[in-house]
Amino acid sequence: MDVQELFEIFDDDDDMLRDLANNIRGYSVKEREDHFNNCNETEFFNRFRLKKNTVLIILPQIEHLLVHETPRYHEIDPRTQLLLTLRFYATGNFYISVGDFIGVHKTTAGRIIKRVTEALVSLCPEYIRMPQTEQEKRGIIMDFFSLAQFRGVCGAIDCTHISILSPGGENAEFFRNRKGYFSLNVQVVSDARNNIMDIVARWPGSCHDSHIFSNSRIKARIEGGEFGDAVLLGDSGYPLRNYLMTPLINPITRAEQMYNRCHISTRSVVERTFGIWKRRFPILSLGIRAKIPLAQRIIIATAVLQNIAVQQRDEYIPPDEYEDEGNFEINENIDQLQNINVVQQQYIHYFGTLL
């Protein structure tokens, strides 16, 4: 029975039933374009920031999490769900814009983004991890050594701010960083090939880098000797430790100047990682329009995708273009920064022998 038939049955004076008839709508399905097959490689890459082959590698790993247990009418297939989510990461648009691009309602788009994001986060233990075997550890140390002859480096560490909407409430100001916008301060340990080996994405923007590191699991692991005598390289915002080398404030001798140059050249890989990561997924720079728990998961999910892209040689940013956030500045609040410990002195002596 259609609306016109209802009008003929109901009396014209019965306004309530007439309103009911006016509100009846037929079930409609939006047309969904097949972007995967209709776009060439360049068009596809520009829209989703990954190559088709990379998408085909990701999809089998998560599609079992995207299929409904019971078949549904006009069910959205896992590939379309993944592409919708990638489009959201590539633009940071409202759900309604992303939904219109794929051909689904904004509410459906929101549910899909959450579902796919959770599925990608489940891949984190496989793709975001520090080296475990001795062979992996030696490989990473050699990769870092090839950059500027800095020995025994197992990772470069730094933090970057990911813009978010104001979370509201009485604790909102904790998320406002020193540059004045709301953010999450995300700690990353990168290898020499721009893989993210460790990530912490739970701290508000007002937290200092050194505080995040002091409360991180990676600190406990390296202090526990899991990586032997290998060290991390950090900027001047971190405290100098036997396992964490920072730059000298006032290098005087040629050996100290050499140490600083090699330290900065080697540690800059983490800055390059940030640049590639944020340019590949602009949602990280433009701002994540989601509540904090989902925003944290989106950060982890894009880090997983970043590592998969690097492993598949899905290049996006030329190697000499990376984000410089000014992290080489001196932080006078770190009391250990003025000192030179035994390990750092050994490094300075080593670089002196290279002159």
Q: What was the pLDDT predicted at 336?
A: 42
Spell out where the chain has E strands.
Answer: 153-163, 183-190, 196-204, 231-233, 244-245
* pLDDT tens by residue, 290-305: 999 999 999 999 999 9
* pLDDT tens by residue, 116-134: 999 999 999 999 999 999 9
pLDDT bin (cut points 50, 70, 90) of residue 351 is: confident
pLDDT bin (cut points 50, 70, 90) of residue 74 is: low
Q: What was the pLDDT predicted at 355?
A: 79
Report the mean per-residue pLDDT for the chain: 86
Of 100-104, 221-225, 271-275, 316-320, where does mean pLDDT reach its minimum? 316-320
Sign of CA dihedral 251, 255, 257, 258: negative
Q: Is 186 helix (H, G, I), strand (E, B) or coil?
A: strand
pLDDT bin (cut points 50, 70, 90) of residue 166 is: very high
Q: What was the pLDDT predicted at 20?
A: 46
pLDDT bin (cut points 50, 70, 90) of residue 314 is: confident
* pLDDT tens by residue, 16-70: 545 544 554 454 556 778 889 999 999 999 999 999 999 999 999 999 999 876 6
Of 57-61, 137-141, 309-313, 329-333, where does mean pLDDT reach its minimum? 329-333
Non-local (6+) Cβ contacts of 165 within 8 A are 182, 287, 288, 289, 290
What is the mean predicted confidence (pLDDT) over 150-157?
97
Of 33-42, 80-89, 173-182, 312-321, where does mean pLDDT reach its minimum? 312-321
What is the mean predicted confidence (pLDDT) over 85-93?
95
Beta-carbon neighbour count of residue 66 at 10 Å? 20
Of 7-21, 49-63, 185-199, 241-255, where does mean pLDDT reach its minimum? 7-21
pLDDT bin (cut points 50, 70, 90) of residue 334 is: very low
Q: What does the alpha-carbon distance between residue 275 and residue 324 come to, in Å, rounded to a whole number? A: 8
Q: What was the pLDDT predicted at 154?
A: 96
User: pLDDT exceeding 90 applies to what percent of the chain?
Assistant: 73
Spell 278-312 as b/e; 16+ CB within 10 A means b.
Answer: bbbbebbbebbbbebebbbbbbbbbbbbbbbbbee
